[in-house]
Structure 1
Amino acid sequence: MNILYHHRTRGRHVEGVHIRGIVQALRELGHRVAVMSFPGADPEREPDEPSGGGTPGRVATWVTRLPGAVFELFELLYNAVTVARMAWAWRRGAPSLVYERYSLFLFATVWLARRRGVPIVLEINDSALVDRVRPLTMKGVARRIERWCLRHATGLVFISTYFRDQARAAYGDIAPSVVSPNAVDLPRFDPARFDRASLRRERGLEGRTVCGHIGAFAHWHGMDAFIDAIAHRLAEAPHLALVFVGDGKTLPAVRERVAERGLADRVLLPGRVPHDAVASWIACMDYAVLPNSNHYGSPMKLFEFMGMGVAVVAPDYAPVAEVIDDGRTGWLFPRGDDAACVERVLTLASLGDERRRVGEAARAYIASERQWRNNAEQLLTLVPGGAAA
């Protein structure tokens, strides 16, 4: 098939990883895929650049800093840009399928695809129904547009069952759908690629048991609360080192907590690293921790840890429990219970055989069910004849 992948995101960080994963998987299945990105936000060209570079990237950064209602009006106006760009692309050759990473207030792609008689599948990673980093001002308008899009698309790809259930409860008879959590590029996240002993020696982790975390330091990930909860108990596990890779709004607070409690020799905070370097940091870890998440998300880090054979201590939100089988491919604790999270982390510090057993099972699960090819094959089942294309 000739597939047009459309997105209005900036194509950075986790968004870019997901887009590249799906696009590459579709191509490996034999389909032609063209990516239409927000100007200056091509996830295939510059995956680790701050903004995609150039004037368009600076414009995108400026727009995101606008006040809520003004920003949302710009999102609505982008429908006119989408119609013009899609019409131009159509003149060069009509696609067999439009696949879109859904964005709030964006309806033009569904409208145009229906008008042209082309199937359109929406991938739902965001919604007017959930709490977001940037609160919605025009929530009513966003939900009316979202209801129309979810009812009139050919198919929908949700990242979790919880997300799909929320949409069905709010919008009723939505389009046919599948649940497709995140995935991983397994050849890239292969522990056999790395000299674990050398990496640990270079990073001052030799002789330590390492529990790690990689991702954004956002408030819902609970890194600051986790440090508060574990700080006074680290003496119970004298060989345990914590390695937390990433940056974000709560990183300064975490750094301050680590310094105040004299934990610099126990907690390593290297900051954000390029995605190409993520696997090398995971290779240093014996197990991982996700102190908190949210009700609807499918954290990319779970799949990358598990692909590397590093099992995760994680909260029992429904989307996480869809991926982690407690005691077999990871360990779950009651969400919001920092003490239970800390207790599990400290207990596992001395259980090397348990960590290895569960880590091996986690990688086997990813290999069989959660590679990007699995996601691509699943989304194509929503298109008439797509699975056999």
Structure 2
Amino acid sequence: VKAFRELGHEVELLSLPGADPDAEDSSASREKTTVQKTNIVSTLLSRIIELTKYAPEFVFEFIELAYNLIAFFRVNKVVCRDQPDFLYERYSLFMFAGVLIARMKNVPIILEVNDSAIVERVRPLFFKCLARRIEAWIFKNSNGIVFISTNFKNTVESQYANIAPSIICPNAADVRQFNLDGIDREAAKSSLGLSGQVVCGYVGAFVHWHGIDWFVKEISPKLSGYPQLSLLLVGDGVVYEDIQSVVQQYGIEEQVIMPGRVPHTEVSSYIAAMDYGILPDSNEYGSPMKLFEMMAMEVALVSPDFEPIAEVVSDNENGWLFTRKDKA
């Protein structure tokens, strides 16, 4: 969105009620064009969205399907009012309203795809066959698709006979936020009590599929033998307390700093204190955001050699690759 605006295009954001992607941008240099919704329907939708976190999968997917009705009227209203040159949509499973309106109004639509009914997902699908049928129609009837990795593109093309023209565009960092301008690395270390230490960092969710729990369990018994090495683990999640227990078990609290969840605007100040980073795990098709944000600040990572990561990390040049799932 920022790139489009910098090129002189007018961009209007239309998102779920209560979700304002522009909210973190306090810049007064441009007029915000985000559609603001403060009515009763928006409030009700926000409550429903919150409840879906606790809903069974089939209920969650019914709500996703039902949202097409609301999205149809919201998107159609904006398209009729503003007559956009094209729509750019971040694809969501079961979400066909945007493509349907684009076809009805003869407006081009580009999809940015980083999820699919045919890849292994953290939250397995209940209506998988239905999701695939809808997805096949969406991918065929859009005007273009942006995939986050070659692996993802190849996987989709192998499952669907006919999809729109596509390109590969890995994730990226906002270099206005993630840069070293005016940052003193030693001061950043000092503020965290890490002066003189070699700091290995992690930023992200503390969840099983990111592998941070097994990484800490593997390294904790050995860490005290390397007193100049410290871990700076930024984030929170379901395995946070488990990791904390392991650290306490081995008495390495002074070497493992765990500040918990921090505001996104402050993440760069923590990355500045890192000498290198660790990305314990990923998946076959994903393009991890934190990989790019840390690299933008000249922090190279030790990462698993999944194809999408190997597309952007050259071993021993701008990072280090290890054989995926090889914990040792």
Deviations 1:5-55 (A, max 9, x none): xxxxxxxxxxxxxxxxxx1111001111000011111121258xxxx9966
Say which SS state the counterpart of residue 193 (structure 1) adopts.
coil
2:229 is aligned with 1:251:
no
Say which SS state the counterpart of residue 122 (structure 2) adopts.
coil
Within-5 A mapping of 1:73-112: 73-112=62-101
Higher helix share: 1
AA partner of residue 289 (structure 1): I
The answer to whether the Cα contact below 8 Å between 2:17 and 2:43 also exists between their aligned partners in 1 is no
Deviations 1:230-273 (A, max 9, x none): 11222342200000101112112111111112111111111111
Q: Structure 2 CA distance, aligned partners of 1:202 and 1:46? A: 25
Say which SS state the counterpart of residue 112 (structure 2) adopts.
strand
AA partner of residue 327 (structure 1): N
How high is the sequence identity, in percent, across the aligned residues? 49
The answer to whether the Cα contact below 8 Å between 2:200 and 2:229 also exists between their aligned partners in 1 is yes
Say which SS state the counterpart of residue 216 (structure 1) adopts.
coil
AA partner of residue 75 (structure 1): E
2:12 is aligned with 1:34:
yes
Q: Structure 1 CA distance, aligned partners of 2:171 and 2:150? A: 13
Say which SS state the counterpart of residue 242 (structure 1) adopts.
strand
Within-5 A mapping of 1:221-370: 221-339=210-328
Q: Structure 2 CA distance, aligned partners of 1:76 and 1:97? A: 24
My pick for the range that moved more, 293-302 or 61-70, is 61-70
Q: Structure 2 CA distance, aligned partners of 1:313 and 1:274? A: 24
- 1:140 corresponds, among 109, 129, 133, to 129
2:51 is aligned with 1:62:
yes
Q: Structure 1 CA distance, aligned partners of 2:45 and 2:104? A: 30
Q: Structure 2 CA distance, aligned partners of 1:166 and 1:193? A: 43
2:21 is aligned with 1:43:
yes
**For residues 101 and 263 of structure 1, do their structure 2 counterparts lie closer, same or farther at Cα, with a shift above 3 Å needed?**
same
Shift of the alpha carbon at 1:330? 0.5
Q: Structure 2 CA distance, aligned partners of 1:187 and 1:202? A: 23
AA partner of residue 273 (structure 2): C
For the aligned residues, what is the CA RMSD?
Answer: 1.7
Say which SS state the counterpart of residue 70 (structure 2) adopts.
helix
The answer to whether the Cα contact below 8 Å between 2:207 and 2:213 also exists between their aligned partners in 1 is no
By relative contact order (CA 8 Å, sep 6+), the higher-ranking structure is 1
- Show the counterpart of 1:214: 203
Deviations 1:43-99 (A, max 9, x none): 21258xxxx996643331113322111111111111111111122112312111100
Say which SS state the counterpart of residue 99 (structure 2) adopts.
helix
My pick for the range that moved more, 212-221 or 194-203, is 194-203
- Structure 1 residues without counterparts, runs of 5 or longer: 1-22, 340-389
Within-5 A mapping of 1:179-198: 179-198=168-187
Shift of the alpha carbon at 1:206? 0.4
Q: Structure 2 CA distance, aligned partners of 1:199 and 1:95? A: 45
Say which SS state the counterpart of residue 224 (structure 2) adopts.
helix
Deviations 1:310-357 (A, max 9, x none): 101000000111110111110000000111xxxxxxxxxxxxxxxxxx
Scaled by the length of structure 1, the TM-score of the pair is 0.78
Say which SS state the counterpart of residue 106 (structure 1) adopts.
coil
Aligned residue pairs, count: 314
Q: Structure 2 CA distance, aligned partners of 1:230 and 1:42? A: 40
The answer to whether the Cα contact below 8 Å between 2:207 and 2:237 also exists between their aligned partners in 1 is yes
Shift of the alpha carbon at 1:174? 1.0
Q: Structure 2 CA distance, aligned partners of 1:270 and 1:194? A: 20
Q: Structure 1 CA distance, aligned partners of 2:243 and 2:217? A: 9
Q: Structure 2 CA distance, aligned partners of 1:283 and 1:266? A: 17
AA partner of residue 172 (structure 2): A
